[in-house]
Amino acid sequence: RKEVEQDPGPFNVPEGATVAFNCTYSNSASQSFFWYRQDCRKEPKLLMSVYSSGNEDGRFTAQLNRASQYISLLIRDSKLSDSATYLCVVNLHTGGFKTIFGAGTRLFVKA
């Protein structure tokens, strides 16, 4: 089992749609969580941190459920420019250091 698993995608949605991505992690020592966005052939860029209380940044909402070891990202009112791969990221603090990236979920937003 992979340490971080994401919806395989791709997700094909029309402009204006609401889309949700899920991510599960296996290591209960996971301490901090992020969503990154990666455009084709570009580097990943930090989209938002994920907090237990949930957090929102404009059209984007991230949720964390530690009990279920589950993270989600909700995008409302999708734009064409949201088309990208969304990477779920988990930091482990287990004496050493380890940051694990999921394989990503591809999103295509169409006009």
Partner 1 sequence: DTGVSQDPRHKITKRGQNVTFRCDPISEHNRLYWYRQTLGQGPEFLTYFQNEAQLEKSRLLSDRFSAERPKGSFSTLEIQRTEQGDSAMYLCASSGGGNYGYTFGSGTRLTVV
From 50, 53, 52, select the one nearest 89 (Cα to Cα).
Answer: 50
From 28, 107, 19, 93, select the one nearest 60 (Cα to Cα).
Answer: 19
Choosing from 20, 29, 46, 80, the residue that interacts with partner 1 (CB under 8 A) is 46
The span from the CA of 75 to the CA of 16, in Å, is: 10
Site string for partner 1, 1-30 (x = CB under 8 A): ---x--------------------------
Site string for partner 1, 49-88 (x = CB under 8 A): x-------------------------------------x-
